[in-house]
Chains A and B, each alone.
Chain A
Amino acid sequence: MWSFSKIANLIHEWLNQTFNPTLATIIEMVIVGIAVIGLFAVLGLVLVIMERKVSAWIQIRLGPNRVGPKGMLQSLADTLKLLVKEAMTPSGSDKFLFNLAPYIAMMVAMLLMAPIAFASNFQMWDLNIGVLYVSAVSSISVISILIAGWASNNKYSLMGAMRSGAQIVSYELSAGLSILAVVVLTGSLNINDIIQSQANGWWIFKGHIPAIIAFIVFITAVTAETNRAPFDLAEAESELTAGFHTEYSGMKFALFFLAEYVNVFIVCAIGATLFLGGWMPFHVGNWQGFNHVMDYIPGSVWFFGKTFFLIFVIMWFRWTFPRLRIDQLLNLEWKYLLPISMFNILLVTAMAILGWHF
């Protein structure tokens, strides 16, 4: 059966035969780096066109349909436009920080790709604290937003950055606690272990109601963490024009834009890994024939299918709900989501100790 891991192994063997092991490792690192950048760009393009098509579908219109077949090359044309556009730096801004901020945003998004398992044995870095790494690195993204808002020397940007700071710091707690629910059930922070533990059923089915609560809290919290509507207060365009990236143009803006979409992909990938079994196929109890057919679908298809389903859900949120107000946003976190997820953690722990899950 075709899979990513075979290709990876093939390249690994060929490199080790041709070069000495040190050089082979270095070449492998470069290849992985190029792959990440390539994936970053492709994901950005795919997700932008996906968002535009999904929103067009929800809003009873056609969406882009001129460039390429069914408008599929529209985001390529947009990227070209952004590349040749002048990237201005306002005269009153802190130039170093202003130019630094988009790179931090992009760097965080790229770093987060490291521990994600795209298919069986297809992972850039199988580290034993994968989940912790993800929650630790993702909190750096707030720094890029704060820097961007501060360095722009613009009142709208500053307000957007401050809102974003309050929002991301708050919602990280719920996101962390809902991730912890799965960690408690699995007993491991390793992403591969978490996926392996779901071989006989995904956690959202195995973990009863507490897992479903954790999943819902997780989706809500990550929507807020990635600054997506209905929690897009940092860039609320009717109040703050464009929030923290008001002053950015050209490719600098595009980096923020891409980082947002790649962050959405990553949080959805984490959600799919923790709750929906990552690249594990869908199995139903003792239906041997059905399970066998499901096994024939490659792991990477399962992984991307689940991830894109979650991305679709998050896009669906964006085009359906009005935006919350800043105090309502913080109320939702501190008065509802956080107590719920704290109580939920107790339930999950009791369930794990008593072995009530499947």
Chain B
Amino acid sequence: MVEELGTTTEGDLIINVGPQHPATHGVLHLVITLNGETIKKVEPHLGYIHRSIEKMCESLTYRQFIYVTSRMDYLSAHINNHACALCVEKGMQIEVPERAQVIRVLMDELTRIASHELWWGAMAMDLGAFTPFFHAFRERETINDIMEETCGARLTMNYMVPGGVMADLHPDFQKRVKAFISLYRSKIKEYDEMLTGNIIFQNRMKGVGYLSPEDAISYGCSGPAARGSGVSCDIRKLYPYEVYNKVQFEEVLETAGDSFARYMVRIREMNQSVSIIEQLIDNIPEGDYQAKTKAVLKLPKGEFYTRVETARGELGVYIVSEGATTPYRIKFRSPGFSNLSALDHMARGSKLGDLVAMMGTLDLVIPDIDR
């Protein structure tokens, strides 16, 4: 008897995955209706790590609120700060010096690689392979060291400010980034040997969690989750900001729409990020790292929206200003929230073991979903 998916009937097994569960990497709560091992319905319950960051931002000045946003998607802290700084700059019509733009892009791409490294290790760990986690952390550690040297922090950097970046690059920056690139080039093959080519891994990923391009668009998916289904949505290409229109890189697209496609998008994206860094690292222009701005920023009355491509997808920042020193209203369009909404659709009819593969390839960061 084929039971209807998406419904709960008498005798179904309902299990709570989360809020404390090893697979959710945070306080996500999934109520899963099971028929044996087959998933009938997945219901995400949110709000366990809601810190009302949007409301908090409304009582902070335009210089201050950027620092709170590092705590949203903590794996792409730079990119969150970047999006907010861009929005304030748009409102104030600040021209960012060329040097600051290049530094911002370099930092964004390093963050993207670091985030994907962590995702790679954590997803492999969810699937039962523990070793990749430590190998990924070896490379990520190098990026964290680079960040620490220049920004003074390893996770919540708070390096981007309206008008540029907080401080100039550390003198060793170029040398260490080049050392990282050569390390990365030698280790990426190891990743393929360890996981990508593994027959068990491919069986776990291929054909699992299919998301059609139409569904990806209608659920509002963005980032690698949508590009795995062949939906072109890279903000860096479609609406270039900073110096992204001056560097050569390709938007990574896979058409299969399953977990393996999303996996491959991220792996290939790391290579693209490295190539962007390689193009820019020797061509950092001289000049100011910060534009001259007023001490107190007051955005003119109006509404401002900017968007950037984080490691997880499209992050939008929407500011409503009444002309005061603090924003009247701030709304973040976080990529994780929309990507999570597609989970139920993807998971129906598959096995419980596949859920971790799907959640892994959606790359959920819970503070980004809840804010």
Name A residues whose Cβ lies closer than 8 Å to a Cβ of B. 55, 58-61, 155-156, 159, 163, 229-230, 232-233, 236-239, 241, 319-328
Name B residues whose Cβ lies closer than 8 Å to a Cβ of A. 13, 15, 21-23, 37, 124-131, 133-135, 138, 194-195, 198, 200-201, 203-204, 351-356
Assess whether A326 is in contact with B131, with CB atoms less than 8 Å apart: no
Distance in angstroms from A176 CB to nearest chain B CB is: 24
A155 contacts which of B15, B22, B124, B195 (Cβ < 8 Å)? B15
* Chain A to chain B: the 6 pairs with minimum beta-carbon distance, closest first: A323-B128, A322-B129, A59-B134, A322-B127, A325-B353, A238-B126
Cα separation A55 to B132 with both chains bound (whole Å): 12
Given contacts A55-B131, A232-B128, A319-B131, 4 further A-B contacts (CB under 8 A): A156-B15, A159-B352, A239-B356, A320-B129
Distance in angstroms from A193 CB to nearest chain B CB is: 38
Distance in angstroms from A73 CB to nearest chain B CB is: 24
Q: What are 19 contact pairs spanning A and B, CB under 8 A?
A: A59-B130, A60-B135, A159-B15, A159-B37, A230-B128, A236-B353, A238-B126, A239-B352, A320-B129, A320-B194, A322-B124, A322-B129, A322-B198, A323-B353, A324-B204, A325-B203, A325-B204, A325-B353, A326-B37
Contact (A321, B200) CB under 8 Å given A155-B13, A230-B128: yes
Cα separation A319 to B128 with both chains bound (whole Å): 9
Contacts across chains A and B counted by CB atoms under 8 Å: 82
Cα separation A323 to B198 with both chains bound (whole Å): 11
Distance in angstroms from B360 CB to nearest chain A CB is: 9
- A232: chain B residues within 8 A (beta carbon): 128
Assess whether B128 is in contact with A321, with CB atoms less than 8 Å apart: yes
- B194: chain A residues within 8 A (beta carbon): 320
Assess whether B355 is in contact with A239, with CB atoms less than 8 Å apart: yes
Q: In this complex, which of A60, A321, A322, A324 has the most chain B Cβ atoms within 10 angstroms of its Cβ?
A: A322
Contact (A322, B204) CB under 8 Å given A59-B130, A60-B138: yes
Distance in angstroms from A299 CB to nearest chain B CB is: 35
Cα separation A317 to B333 with both chains bound (whole Å): 43
Distance in angstroms from B260 CB to nearest chain A CB is: 13
Contact (A322, B128) CB under 8 Å given A61-B134, A237-B22: yes
- B356: chain A residues within 8 A (beta carbon): 238-239
Assess whether A239 is in contact with B23, with CB atoms less than 8 Å apart: yes
Residue of B nearest to A232 (CB): B128
Cα separation A206 to B127 with both chains bound (whole Å): 39
- A323: chain B residues within 8 A (beta carbon): 127-129, 200, 204, 353
Assess whether B15 is in contact with A325, with CB atoms less than 8 Å apart: no
- B203: chain A residues within 8 A (beta carbon): 324-325, 328
- A320: chain B residues within 8 A (beta carbon): 129, 131, 194
Cα separation A12 to B154 with both chains bound (whole Å): 67
Contact (A230, B200) CB under 8 Å given A58-B131, A155-B13, A238-B23: yes
Cα separation A8 to B356 with both chains bound (whole Å): 54
Assess whether B138 is in contact with A322, with CB atoms less than 8 Å apart: no
Distance in angstroms from B324 CB to nearest chain A CB is: 47
Assess whether A326 is in contact with B353, with CB atoms less than 8 Å apart: yes
Cα separation A230 to B138 with both chains bound (whole Å): 24
- A237: chain B residues within 8 A (beta carbon): 22
Distance in angstroms from A346 CB to nearest chain B CB is: 27
Distance in angstroms from B20 CB to nearest chain A CB is: 9
Cα separation A175 to B134 with both chains bound (whole Å): 34
Contact (A236, B128) CB under 8 Å given A322-B204, A325-B351: yes
Q: In this complex, which of A59, A156, A239 has the most chain B Cβ atoms within 10 angstroms of its Cβ?
A: A239
- A326: chain B residues within 8 A (beta carbon): 37, 351, 353
Distance in angstroms from A156 CB to nearest chain B CB is: 7
Q: In this complex, which of A58, A238, A239, A328 has the most chain B Cβ atoms within 10 angstroms of its Cβ?
A: A238
Residue of B nearest to A59 (CB): B134
Cα separation A237 to B204 with both chains bound (whole Å): 16
Distance in angstroms from B226 CB to nearest chain A CB is: 25
Cα separation A55 to B135 with both chains bound (whole Å): 13
Distance in angstroms from B38 CB to nearest chain A CB is: 10
Contact (A319, B130) CB under 8 Å given A239-B352, A239-B353, A324-B204: yes
Residue of A nearest to B195 (CB): A322
- B15: chain A residues within 8 A (beta carbon): 155-156, 159
Assess whether B353 is in contact with A233, with CB atoms less than 8 Å apart: yes
- B129: chain A residues within 8 A (beta carbon): 320-323
- A61: chain B residues within 8 A (beta carbon): 134
- B195: chain A residues within 8 A (beta carbon): 322
Distance in angstroms from A314 CB to nearest chain B CB is: 15
Residue of B nearest to A163 (CB): B37
Q: In this complex, which of A159, A325, A327 has the most chain B Cβ atoms within 10 angstroms of its Cβ?
A: A325
Distance in angstroms from A161 CB to nearest chain B CB is: 13
Residue of B nearest to A329 (CB): B353
Distance in angstroms from B200 CB to nearest chain A CB is: 5
- A236: chain B residues within 8 A (beta carbon): 128, 353
Assess whether B21 is in contact with A327, with CB atoms less than 8 Å apart: no
Q: In this complex, which of B125, B195, B203, B353 has the most chain A Cβ atoms within 10 angstroms of its Cβ?
A: B353
Residue of A nearest to B13 (CB): A155
Assess whether B128 is in contact with A238, with CB atoms less than 8 Å apart: yes
Residue of B nearest to A154 (CB): B15
Assess whether B200 is in contact with A324, with CB atoms less than 8 Å apart: yes
Contact (A60, B134) CB under 8 Å given A322-B127, A322-B201: yes
Cα separation A61 to B135 with both chains bound (whole Å): 10
Distance in angstroms from B249 CB to nearest chain A CB is: 30
Distance in angstroms from B276 CB to nearest chain A CB is: 28
Residue of A nearest to B130 (CB): A319
Distance in angstroms from A343 CB to nearest chain B CB is: 22
Cα separation A233 to B354 with both chains bound (whole Å): 12
Residue of A nearest to B354 (CB): A325
- B200: chain A residues within 8 A (beta carbon): 230, 321-324, 328
Cα separation A156 to B13 with both chains bound (whole Å): 10
Assess whether A59 is in contact with B128, with CB atoms less than 8 Å apart: no
- A233: chain B residues within 8 A (beta carbon): 353
Residue of B nearest to A319 (CB): B131
Cα separation A327 to B200 with both chains bound (whole Å): 12
Assess whether A55 is in contact with B130, with CB atoms less than 8 Å apart: yes
- B130: chain A residues within 8 A (beta carbon): 55, 59, 319
